Amino acid sequence: MDIRVNHLTKTYGTQRAVDDISFEVKTGEILGFLGPNGAGKTTTMKILTCYMAASGGQVQIGDYDVMAQPERVKRHIGYLPENNPLYLDMPVLEYLTFVAELQGVPRAEVPTRLRSIVGRCGLNLEKHKKIGALSKGYRQRVGLAQALIHDPDILILDEPTTGLDPNQIVEIRNLIREIGKEKTVILSTHILPEVEATCDRILIINRGKIVADGTPESLRQQGEGSAIFLVQVKVPAGSPGPTEALRALPMVKAVEVLPKQPGRYRITADSDMPFRESLFRYCVKQQWLLLELTKEEQRLETIFRDLTLN
Protein backbone atom coordinates (compact mmCIF):
# COMPACT_ATOMS: atom_id res chain seq x y z
CA MET A 1 0.00 0.00 0.00
CA ASP A 2 1.47 3.33 -1.07
CA ILE A 3 1.42 6.67 0.68
CA ARG A 4 0.95 9.79 -1.43
CA VAL A 5 1.32 13.19 0.16
CA ASN A 6 0.33 16.16 -1.96
CA HIS A 7 1.03 19.77 -1.03
CA LEU A 8 0.43 19.08 2.62
CA THR A 9 0.29 22.14 4.86
CA LYS A 10 -0.37 22.54 8.56
CA THR A 11 -0.51 25.85 10.36
CA TYR A 12 -0.68 26.49 14.08
CA GLY A 13 -1.97 30.02 14.35
CA THR A 14 0.45 31.98 12.23
CA GLN A 15 3.21 29.39 12.39
CA ARG A 16 3.59 27.02 9.46
CA ALA A 17 4.63 23.71 10.97
CA VAL A 18 4.41 21.89 7.64
CA ASP A 19 4.74 23.98 4.55
CA ASP A 20 3.53 22.54 1.26
CA ILE A 21 5.35 19.20 1.23
CA SER A 22 4.79 16.42 -1.30
CA PHE A 23 6.28 12.96 -1.39
CA GLU A 24 5.45 9.35 -2.10
CA VAL A 25 6.36 6.12 -0.37
CA LYS A 26 5.99 2.76 -2.09
CA THR A 27 5.31 -0.68 -0.66
CA GLY A 28 8.45 -2.35 0.61
CA GLU A 29 10.21 0.94 1.07
CA ILE A 30 11.58 2.20 4.38
CA LEU A 31 11.58 5.96 4.39
CA GLY A 32 13.75 7.80 6.89
CA PHE A 33 12.17 11.05 7.90
CA LEU A 34 14.93 13.33 9.07
CA GLY A 35 15.09 16.80 10.45
CA PRO A 36 16.03 18.87 13.46
CA ASN A 37 13.63 19.05 16.38
CA GLY A 38 10.59 21.11 15.50
CA ALA A 39 11.03 20.67 11.77
CA GLY A 40 7.55 19.24 11.29
CA LYS A 41 8.25 15.50 11.33
CA THR A 42 5.89 14.66 14.15
CA THR A 43 3.18 16.94 12.80
CA THR A 44 3.35 15.21 9.42
CA MET A 45 3.10 11.83 11.08
CA LYS A 46 0.12 12.88 13.16
CA ILE A 47 -1.64 13.93 9.96
CA LEU A 48 -0.78 10.67 8.18
CA THR A 49 -2.25 8.70 11.06
CA CYS A 50 -5.49 10.72 11.15
CA TYR A 51 -4.78 12.14 14.61
CA MET A 52 -4.83 15.68 13.31
CA ALA A 53 -6.36 17.30 10.29
CA ALA A 54 -4.19 19.10 7.77
CA SER A 55 -4.76 22.76 6.97
CA GLY A 56 -4.31 22.10 3.27
CA GLY A 57 -3.31 19.48 0.73
CA GLN A 58 -4.13 15.79 0.50
CA VAL A 59 -2.81 12.57 1.93
CA GLN A 60 -3.74 9.29 0.33
CA ILE A 61 -3.06 5.93 1.89
CA GLY A 62 -3.66 3.33 -0.79
CA ASP A 63 -6.90 4.48 -2.35
CA TYR A 64 -8.24 6.19 0.75
CA ASP A 65 -8.10 9.82 1.64
CA VAL A 66 -6.90 10.43 5.18
CA MET A 67 -9.36 13.22 5.88
CA ALA A 68 -12.41 11.77 4.18
CA GLN A 69 -12.14 8.14 5.26
CA PRO A 70 -10.24 7.96 8.53
CA GLU A 71 -11.91 4.68 9.61
CA ARG A 72 -10.66 2.96 6.44
CA VAL A 73 -7.20 4.44 6.76
CA LYS A 74 -6.67 3.65 10.43
CA ARG A 75 -7.30 -0.04 9.82
CA HIS A 76 -4.19 -0.21 7.64
CA ILE A 77 -1.84 1.83 9.79
CA GLY A 78 0.32 0.77 12.67
CA TYR A 79 1.55 3.78 14.57
CA LEU A 80 4.13 4.23 17.29
CA PRO A 81 3.84 7.84 18.49
CA GLU A 82 6.70 9.88 19.86
CA ASN A 83 7.73 8.88 23.40
CA ASN A 84 5.82 5.61 23.05
CA PRO A 85 2.83 6.33 25.32
CA LEU A 86 1.40 3.21 26.97
CA TYR A 87 -1.11 2.35 29.68
CA LEU A 88 1.42 1.63 32.40
CA ASP A 89 -1.06 -0.07 34.72
CA MET A 90 -2.01 -2.74 32.18
CA PRO A 91 -0.26 -6.09 31.79
CA VAL A 92 1.43 -6.56 28.41
CA LEU A 93 -0.89 -9.29 27.11
CA GLU A 94 -4.03 -7.52 28.23
CA TYR A 95 -2.92 -4.32 26.53
CA LEU A 96 -2.07 -6.08 23.27
CA THR A 97 -5.41 -7.89 23.35
CA PHE A 98 -7.16 -4.58 23.86
CA VAL A 99 -5.41 -3.02 20.86
CA ALA A 100 -6.00 -6.10 18.71
CA GLU A 101 -9.72 -6.07 19.46
CA LEU A 102 -9.92 -2.34 18.83
CA GLN A 103 -8.24 -2.79 15.48
CA GLY A 104 -10.86 -5.32 14.51
CA VAL A 105 -8.77 -8.49 14.62
CA PRO A 106 -11.40 -11.28 14.67
CA ARG A 107 -11.77 -12.66 18.18
CA ALA A 108 -10.82 -16.18 17.13
CA GLU A 109 -7.55 -14.98 15.62
CA VAL A 110 -6.45 -12.85 18.55
CA PRO A 111 -4.58 -15.60 20.46
CA THR A 112 -2.51 -16.75 17.46
CA ARG A 113 -1.78 -13.19 16.48
CA LEU A 114 -0.71 -12.39 20.03
CA ARG A 115 1.57 -15.40 20.20
CA SER A 116 3.34 -14.55 16.98
CA ILE A 117 3.79 -10.87 17.76
CA VAL A 118 4.99 -11.53 21.32
CA GLY A 119 7.57 -13.94 19.94
CA ARG A 120 8.63 -11.63 17.16
CA CYS A 121 9.13 -8.69 19.48
CA GLY A 122 10.93 -10.79 22.10
CA LEU A 123 8.36 -10.22 24.83
CA ASN A 124 7.82 -13.81 25.84
CA LEU A 125 9.34 -13.54 29.30
CA GLU A 126 7.68 -10.23 30.09
CA LYS A 127 4.20 -10.81 28.74
CA HIS A 128 2.46 -11.14 32.11
CA LYS A 129 4.15 -8.14 33.71
CA LYS A 130 2.56 -4.75 33.99
CA ILE A 131 3.88 -2.40 31.34
CA GLY A 132 4.93 0.04 34.06
CA ALA A 133 7.30 -2.58 35.46
CA LEU A 134 9.18 -3.00 32.18
CA SER A 135 12.48 -1.40 31.24
CA LYS A 136 12.54 1.20 28.51
CA GLY A 137 13.74 -1.27 25.90
CA TYR A 138 10.91 -3.65 26.62
CA ARG A 139 8.36 -0.85 26.64
CA GLN A 140 9.60 0.09 23.20
CA ARG A 141 8.99 -3.46 22.08
CA VAL A 142 5.48 -3.31 23.48
CA GLY A 143 5.00 -0.09 21.51
CA LEU A 144 6.15 -1.82 18.35
CA ALA A 145 4.02 -4.86 19.12
CA GLN A 146 0.88 -2.76 19.50
CA ALA A 147 1.65 -1.06 16.19
CA LEU A 148 2.07 -4.43 14.46
CA ILE A 149 -0.68 -6.45 16.12
CA HIS A 150 -3.24 -6.08 13.33
CA ASP A 151 -0.66 -6.77 10.60
CA PRO A 152 -0.93 -3.30 9.06
CA ASP A 153 0.24 -2.50 5.55
CA ILE A 154 1.76 0.74 6.71
CA LEU A 155 3.96 1.33 9.69
CA ILE A 156 4.63 4.81 11.00
CA LEU A 157 7.24 5.08 13.73
CA ASP A 158 8.07 8.36 15.41
CA GLU A 159 11.59 8.11 16.81
CA PRO A 160 11.42 4.40 17.57
CA THR A 161 14.88 4.10 19.12
CA THR A 162 15.18 7.11 21.41
CA GLY A 163 16.40 6.22 24.85
CA LEU A 164 17.51 2.70 24.00
CA ASP A 165 20.96 1.31 24.64
CA PRO A 166 23.13 0.39 21.61
CA ASN A 167 22.23 -3.31 21.74
CA GLN A 168 18.54 -2.57 21.88
CA ILE A 169 18.89 -0.09 19.05
CA VAL A 170 20.42 -2.76 16.84
CA GLU A 171 17.66 -5.21 17.73
CA ILE A 172 14.89 -2.74 17.00
CA ARG A 173 16.55 -1.75 13.73
CA ASN A 174 16.79 -5.35 12.62
CA LEU A 175 13.15 -5.83 13.49
CA ILE A 176 12.19 -2.78 11.46
CA ARG A 177 14.28 -3.92 8.49
CA GLU A 178 12.65 -7.31 8.57
CA ILE A 179 9.15 -5.89 8.81
CA GLY A 180 9.94 -3.33 6.15
CA LYS A 181 10.41 -5.98 3.49
CA GLU A 182 6.71 -6.41 2.90
CA LYS A 183 5.30 -3.19 4.33
CA THR A 184 5.52 0.52 3.79
CA VAL A 185 7.48 2.07 6.62
CA ILE A 186 8.06 5.67 7.57
CA LEU A 187 10.35 6.27 10.50
CA SER A 188 11.44 9.57 11.88
CA THR A 189 14.67 10.15 13.70
CA HIS A 190 17.44 12.60 14.16
CA ILE A 191 20.05 9.93 14.59
CA LEU A 192 21.85 9.78 11.28
CA PRO A 193 23.58 6.40 11.46
CA GLU A 194 20.15 4.98 12.11
CA VAL A 195 18.90 6.15 8.75
CA GLU A 196 21.91 4.76 6.96
CA ALA A 197 21.47 1.46 8.72
CA THR A 198 17.76 1.03 8.14
CA CYS A 199 16.35 3.19 5.41
CA ASP A 200 16.13 2.82 1.66
CA ARG A 201 15.31 6.44 1.21
CA ILE A 202 15.83 9.63 3.13
CA LEU A 203 13.65 12.68 3.33
CA ILE A 204 15.16 15.65 5.08
CA ILE A 205 12.74 18.26 6.28
CA ASN A 206 13.57 21.64 7.76
CA ARG A 207 11.19 24.34 8.95
CA GLY A 208 8.30 22.50 7.39
CA LYS A 209 9.86 22.15 3.95
CA ILE A 210 11.51 19.22 2.24
CA VAL A 211 15.15 20.06 1.64
CA ALA A 212 16.40 16.72 0.38
CA ASP A 213 14.92 13.50 -0.92
CA GLY A 214 16.86 10.48 -2.12
CA THR A 215 18.82 7.35 -1.25
CA PRO A 216 21.69 7.75 1.22
CA GLU A 217 24.12 7.31 -1.70
CA SER A 218 22.51 9.92 -3.90
CA LEU A 219 22.45 12.39 -1.04
CA ARG A 220 26.10 11.79 -0.41
CA GLN A 221 26.87 12.50 -4.04
CA GLN A 222 24.92 15.74 -3.80
CA GLY A 223 27.36 16.95 -1.23
CA GLU A 224 30.38 15.94 -3.34
CA GLY A 225 31.02 19.39 -4.74
CA SER A 226 33.68 19.73 -2.12
CA ALA A 227 35.86 16.95 -0.80
CA ILE A 228 37.15 16.36 2.69
CA PHE A 229 40.59 14.98 3.39
CA LEU A 230 42.38 13.73 6.44
CA VAL A 231 45.95 14.94 6.22
CA GLN A 232 48.89 14.35 8.50
CA VAL A 233 52.19 16.12 7.94
CA LYS A 234 55.43 16.17 9.85
CA VAL A 235 57.36 19.43 9.66
CA PRO A 236 61.15 19.56 10.15
CA ALA A 237 62.13 20.70 13.62
CA GLY A 238 62.52 24.44 13.95
CA SER A 239 60.22 25.47 11.10
CA PRO A 240 56.88 27.16 11.91
CA GLY A 241 53.72 25.07 12.27
CA PRO A 242 51.93 24.15 9.05
CA THR A 243 48.42 25.32 9.92
CA GLU A 244 48.65 28.80 8.43
CA ALA A 245 50.52 27.56 5.37
CA LEU A 246 47.85 24.96 4.72
CA ARG A 247 45.09 27.55 5.03
CA ALA A 248 46.86 29.67 2.43
CA LEU A 249 46.99 26.88 -0.14
CA PRO A 250 44.83 27.29 -3.27
CA MET A 251 41.56 25.34 -3.39
CA VAL A 252 41.42 24.99 0.40
CA LYS A 253 38.14 26.05 1.92
CA ALA A 254 38.64 25.11 5.54
CA VAL A 255 41.26 23.60 7.76
CA GLU A 256 40.25 21.95 10.97
CA VAL A 257 42.97 21.11 13.47
CA LEU A 258 42.18 17.71 14.94
CA PRO A 259 42.55 17.79 18.70
CA LYS A 260 45.05 15.54 20.45
CA GLN A 261 46.62 14.40 17.18
CA PRO A 262 49.59 16.66 16.42
CA GLY A 263 50.06 17.45 12.77
CA ARG A 264 46.70 15.95 11.75
CA TYR A 265 44.09 18.07 9.96
CA ARG A 266 40.72 17.75 8.34
CA ILE A 267 40.84 19.86 5.21
CA THR A 268 37.89 20.77 3.03
CA ALA A 269 38.87 21.57 -0.52
CA ASP A 270 36.72 22.46 -3.50
CA SER A 271 38.31 19.90 -5.79
CA ASP A 272 39.63 16.38 -5.48
CA MET A 273 42.62 15.35 -7.66
CA PRO A 274 44.08 18.84 -8.29
CA PHE A 275 44.13 19.47 -4.56
CA ARG A 276 45.92 16.22 -3.81
CA GLU A 277 48.57 16.95 -6.40
CA SER A 278 49.19 20.49 -5.27
CA LEU A 279 49.34 19.47 -1.63
CA PHE A 280 51.88 16.79 -2.42
CA ARG A 281 54.07 19.19 -4.43
CA TYR A 282 53.83 21.81 -1.72
CA CYS A 283 54.96 19.34 0.95
CA VAL A 284 57.91 18.29 -1.20
CA LYS A 285 58.90 21.90 -1.70
CA GLN A 286 58.72 22.64 2.03
CA GLN A 287 60.44 19.36 2.86
CA TRP A 288 57.47 18.25 4.93
CA LEU A 289 56.75 14.58 5.31
CA LEU A 290 53.26 13.75 4.11
CA LEU A 291 52.24 10.90 6.44
CA GLU A 292 48.60 10.64 5.51
CA LEU A 293 46.29 11.81 2.76
CA THR A 294 42.89 10.14 2.93
CA LYS A 295 39.73 11.23 1.28
CA GLU A 296 36.96 11.12 3.80
CA GLU A 297 33.63 9.77 2.70
CA GLN A 298 31.19 12.66 2.66
CA ARG A 299 29.18 12.03 5.76
CA LEU A 300 25.46 12.36 6.12
CA GLU A 301 26.01 14.54 9.18
CA THR A 302 27.71 17.13 7.00
CA ILE A 303 24.97 17.05 4.42
CA PHE A 304 22.36 17.25 7.13
CA ARG A 305 24.05 20.21 8.77
CA ASP A 306 24.51 21.99 5.45
CA LEU A 307 20.87 21.56 4.57
CA THR A 308 19.32 22.42 7.89
CA LEU A 309 21.51 25.13 9.35
CA ASN A 310 20.83 28.00 6.97
Binding-site member from 27, 29, 90, 209 for another protein (CB under 8 A): 90
Least distance to another protein, CB of residue 9, Å: 14
Residue 55 neighbours by CB under 8 Å, 6+ apart: 9, 10, 11
Q: Does 81 participate in binding another protein (rule CB under 8 A)?
A: yes
Over the range 234-258, which residues count as b (16 or more CB within 10 Å of their CB) and which as e? ebeeeeeebeebbeeeebbeebeee
For another protein, the closer CB: 16 or 264: 16
Q: Contact letters (x/-) for another protein, 8-27, by CB under 8 A?
A: ----xx-x-x----------
Q: Which helix (H) or strand (E) holds 285?
A: helix 273-286
**Which stretch, 29-37, 45-53, 110-118, 161-169, contacts another protein (CB under 8 A)?**
45-53
Question: Apex CA 169: angle with CA 165 and CA 174, to 5°?
Answer: 155
Q: Which helix (H) or strand (E) holds 103?
A: none
Least distance to another protein, CB of residue 207, Å: 15
Q: Does 77 participate in binding another protein (rule CB under 8 A)?
A: yes
Binding-site member from 41, 74, 127, 141 for another protein (CB under 8 A): 74
The 10 Å Cβ neighbour count of residue 138 is: 19
d(CA 162, CA 205): 19
**Which stretch, 67-75, 166-174, 191-199, 206-214, contacts another protein (CB under 8 A)?**
67-75
Interacting residues toward another protein by CB under 8 A: 12-13, 15, 17, 43, 46, 49-53, 70-71, 74-75, 77, 79, 81-83, 85-90, 94, 98-99, 101-104, 146
